[in-house]
Amino acid sequence: MNVRTFGRTAALGACMIALAAAGACGKKDNDNHNAATTTTNRAVNTTTTNTSTTSTASADDANIRAKATQNLEKKGITGVTVTVNNGELTASGTVPSAKWTDAMQALNEAGAKRVDNSKLVKGS
C-alpha cells in the first residue's frame, strides 16, 4: 500500500466515523424531541380532562346545594346557608335545638361527599 492510498483510506475512515457520530446525535435529538412532544400531548390531554371534570363538578355542586336546601325546607328549617365546593357541603347559620337532628338528616341526605356543620350553631 502506498502513502497516497493510505491517506485516502484514512480520510475516508475518518469521514465515516464523523457521519456515524452525527447520525447518532441526530437520532438522540429526535428521541428527545419525541419525548418532549409526548409530554406536551399528555399535558394537553390532562388539561382537557380537568376542564370537563370542573364543569361536571360545578353541576354536581349545584344539584347537591339545591337538594340540601329542599330537604331543609321540607323539614321547616330556615336560616341555614348551604355552600358546596367539589362535592363537599358546608352549612352555616342557626338551627333551633328541637330541629337539629332534622337539619343534620336533611344535609346528609343531599348526596355530598362530606358535610361540614362546624359553622352551624344550635339555637334555643
pLDDT digits (tens, 9 = 90+) for 35-89: 555 444 444 443 334 444 566 778 899 999 999 999 999 999 999 999 999 999 9
Higher pLDDT, residue 12 or 77:
77
Give residue 115's domain range: 3-123
pTM assigned to the model: 0.56
Helix, strand, coil proportions of the chain in percent (round to 5)? 70, 20, 10
Alpha-carbon distance values, 80 to 46, 60, 96, 105, 120 (Å): 38, 20, 11, 14, 8
DSSP 117: E
pLDDT digits (tens, 9 = 90+) for 14-38: 656 655 555 555 555 555 555 555 4
Number of folded domains that form the chain: 1
Name the amino acid, one letter, at 41. N
CA 87 – CA 58 distance, rounded (Å): 9
